[in-house]
Amino acid sequence: MKVLALALLALFVAHPARAIDAAEREAILLHGPWPPEATPDPSNRASGDPAAIALGQRLFFDVRLSRDLDRACASCHLPAQAYADGRPRGEGLRPLDRNTIALANLGGRRWYGWDGRSDSLWAQSLHPIVDERELAASGTLLRDRLEREHDAVFGPADDDEIFLVDIAKALAAWQETLVTPRSAFDDYRDALEAGDAAGMAAYPVAARRGLSLFVGRGQCATCHFGPSFSNGEFDSVGINYFLGPDGVDRGRHGGIAALLASPFNLLGRHNDDSARTTAAPTTHVALLHRNWGEFRVPSLRGVKATAPYMHDGSLATLAEVARHYSEIDLDRLHQDGQLTLQPLHLTEAEIADLVAFLETL
């Protein structure tokens, strides 16, 4: 009896006393399972092709993608830092205005970049190659340097623009394979689904309390939902957008304008999806005033390794992020955002619990 009593006591200590109700259980289960099934991108004929994936991986670390042969994609997207760079804002040939986005779990998204200026991963991969602040190269330059490698995978290209897009598609094919591993949260989530009490008990108590806050009173799961912990869209969350060389970062508003003007969007000739089903979201996107100052809702998978946070890198730690939402200034939000975001007025203990949960992702 004494052994049984000690076992029950241990289980009580390992788990919060409050039982999970049906609504909370359902909300938690919606954040899995993980990892997702790999699905090729119909807009990219290189997607899922082993030869293209291998080429994309080599090119990611190849300085020949830069005009001056002095930097590669991996110069800013560091493998040791979850393919981010640990800086508040990216550093290119000239200073960049936004935080470097970590590269993981990119397959199947609708929009790419902080402002969604790309509607495919291959188009997003193309931007830093030609951006004068970053690699500052061109299709003509890359053809001179990489024609043999390119032709071995894609065959000869009809023009320099197609060559450039092919290089970006190879990079995208490799980036699609970068998937964050299973986490302590995934083990807990799956144990919850299976009714595995021992598996559930292995999850830290503080993380469990933070998870309850995340899917409950905090309403974090309103935007950070699903297996990737992101709705893939954009929102204003009270972070400064008066940045950039012209004094303001338009965010999603500028991204939509750039997307619609781009020859590389999914409505153009480089989309390999003959049915153009992948272009449907681009067809319907509209430029609205409310998009000013909106930025992409990032995935929280692997978030512990991707500090600093927010589009401008202004919050150094996850605790600072939690405090931002705890005391959010409603005057800095668009009206649409105010309907969801409200100051949470978290205690320091609740902030610590929320961080403990986020670190299990």
What count of other Cβ atoms lies within 10 Å of the Cβ of residue 30?
13
Q: Which of 33, 13, 303 is nearest to 188 (CA)?
A: 33
Residue 281 lies in a domain: no
- pLDDT digits over 323-338, tens only? 999 888 776 676 554 4
Residues 82 and 131 in one domain: yes
Asked if pLDDT for residue 211 goes beyond 90, the answer is: yes
Average pLDDT score over residue span 290-314? 94
Burial of 155 (0-12, 13-18, 19+ CB in 10 A): exposed
∠ CA 163-74-45, nearest 5°, is: 35
Chain centroid, CA 75 distance in Å: 19
Rounded to 5 degrees, φ, ψ at 54 are -65, -40
Q: For residue 157, give Cα distances in angstroms to 28, 62, 258, 355.
A: 48, 21, 26, 49
Number of structural domains (the chain) is: 2
Residues 323 and 197 in one domain: yes
Residue 245 lies in a domain: no
- pLDDT digits over 245-262, tens only? 567 888 999 999 999 999
Query: What pLDDT, on the 0 to 100 scale, is given for residue 334?
Result: 64
> pTM above 0.85?
yes
CA distance 157 to 161: 9
Query: What pLDDT, on the 0 to 100 scale, is given for residue 100?
Result: 95
CATH code of the domain containing 345? 1.10.760.10
Residue 339 lies in a domain: yes
Residues 159 and 195 in one domain: no
Q: N- to C-terminal Cα distance for the chain? A: 38
Residues 77 and 137 in one domain: yes
Q: How many CA atoms lie within 13 A of 350 on its CB side?
A: 14
For 30, the domain range is 16-35+181-239+292-358
Residue type at position 274: S
CA distance 297 to 225: 10
Asked if pLDDT for residue 217 goes beyond 90, the answer is: yes
Please enumerate in sequence order all residues whose Cβ is within 8 A of that of 320, keeping only pairs 6 or more positions apart, or say none. 309
Average pLDDT score over residue span 194-219? 97
Residues 316 and 186 in one domain: yes
Question: Could you tell me what percentage of the chain is helix, strand and coil, using 3-state DSSP and rounding each to the nearest 5?
Answer: 45, 5, 50
Residue 230 lies in a domain: yes
The residue written with tokens 């991108």 in the block is 41
Residues 148 and 202 in one domain: no
Residues 124 and 226 in one domain: no
Chain centroid, CA 165 distance in Å: 22
Query: What pLDDT, on the 0 to 100 scale, is given for residue 249?
Result: 87
Of 359 and 340, which is predicted with more confidence?
Answer: 359
Of 274 and 1, which is predicted with more confidence?
Answer: 274
Residues 163 and 191 in one domain: no
Q: Which of 73, 104, 101, 113 is nearest to 308 (CA)?
A: 101
Residue 232 lies in a domain: yes
The 10 Å CB-count burial string (b at 16+, else e) for 94-111 is eebbbbbbbbbbbbebeb
Residues 229 and 319 in one domain: yes
Residues 196 and 112 in one domain: no
Average pLDDT score over residue span 217-221? 93
The residue written with tokens 């936004």 in the block is 98
Residue 287 lies in a domain: no
| 276 within 8 A of 266, measured Cβ to Cβ | yes
- pLDDT digits over 97-114, tens only? 899 999 999 999 999 999
The residue written with tokens 């469990």 in the block is 208
Residues 83 and 137 in one domain: yes
Mean pLDDT of the chain: 91
- pLDDT digits over 131-159, tens only? 999 999 999 999 999 999 999 999 999 99
Residues 87 and 218 in one domain: no
